[in-house]
Amino acid sequence: MSLNGKHALITGSSRGIGRGIALKLAASGVKVAVHYYQDEAAAIDTLSQVREHGADGFVVQADVTRPEEIQRMFERIEHEFGTLDILVSNARPELTAFYRPPMELTVEQLRVALDSQAQAFLLEVQTVARLMPDRGRIIAISYSPSGLTGSWQPWVAMGAGKAALDALVRYFAVALGRRGITVNVISPGATEDSVVGRLPTEVFQSIKNWHESGWTPLGRMGAPADVGNAVLLLCMDEASFITGQTLYVDGGASIMDPVFPLDIQRG
């Protein structure tokens, strides 16, 4: 499909990966609803960059852990756009809201993670279905390895939330398939200006060094624009037969074997 003049909502698009997605879509002529929770100035800056890329849009505030605010967000979108062709569910809470190891995690912290991922996606898709024309695109930004491993211990709450999100994508892919609406997951690896960039400086630098040393075959961390490129690909008409899938955008990190040291893997 031609993306020029299409309408998109990217939750959590005031910065980082969400901003990278918004700018890639804007460069293809997509009008963008820039969602934010707290940082209005950052959202306005994203919208300014959207306009510099030749598109237009507006900013919309909502706490995606609250069903009534999700409803209000879509009422605003319907008022501004009328329809919505692309939904990218990307928002997450700040690390302080959920980042605790399993034995210290509270029910409230788990609830925040689950509500921001699984509950938010459930309500977003149920609501957007009446605004989205046939052959629309729904994309969830996940971190799929966290649903399969337990090694990143303080990520346990978000890992559970992302695992539930990944499962919901597959169910909605079936539910909306007859309308030609595709529903997919993009799973970024370690990405600049993302959650890993908000870890302590020494932790972030250690992650960066590890990936540059060879854990990522392409020899670098990802950038928000890399994730934006993947979203753009899934929004194209040529991707209309891809649904219920997980696309890893990680420079090949997910195909590395965790059993063997890097020097053995590299031969």
The CA distance from 140 to 10, in Å, is: 10
Whether the pLDDT of residue 267 is over 80: the answer is no
- 211 falls within a domain: no
Residue 260 DSSP code: S
- 50 falls within a domain: yes
- 259 falls within a domain: no
The CA distance from 134 to 229, in Å, is: 23
Domain CATH number, residue 155: 3.40.50.720
The CA distance from 96 to 67, in Å, is: 22
- 214 falls within a domain: no
Q: At what angle do helices 156-175 and 120-128 cross, to 10 degrees?
A: 20
Nearest to 249 by CA among 219, 229, 263, 264: 229
Which is higher by pLDDT, 228 or 267?
228
Range(s) of the domain holding residue 137: 7-197+222-251
- 173 falls within a domain: yes
20-36 pLDDT, tens digit each: 999 999 999 999 999 99
- Name the E strands within the chain: 7-10, 31-36, 57-61, 86-89, 137-141, 182-188, 246-249
178-216 pLDDT, tens digit each: 999 999 999 999 999 888 878 888 988 999 999 999 999
- 258 falls within a domain: no
Domain count, the chain: 1
What is the predicted pLDDT for the residue at 204?
87
- 209 falls within a domain: no
Which is higher by pLDDT, 198 or 126?
126
The residues that bridge with 89 in the sheet, in sequence order, are 140
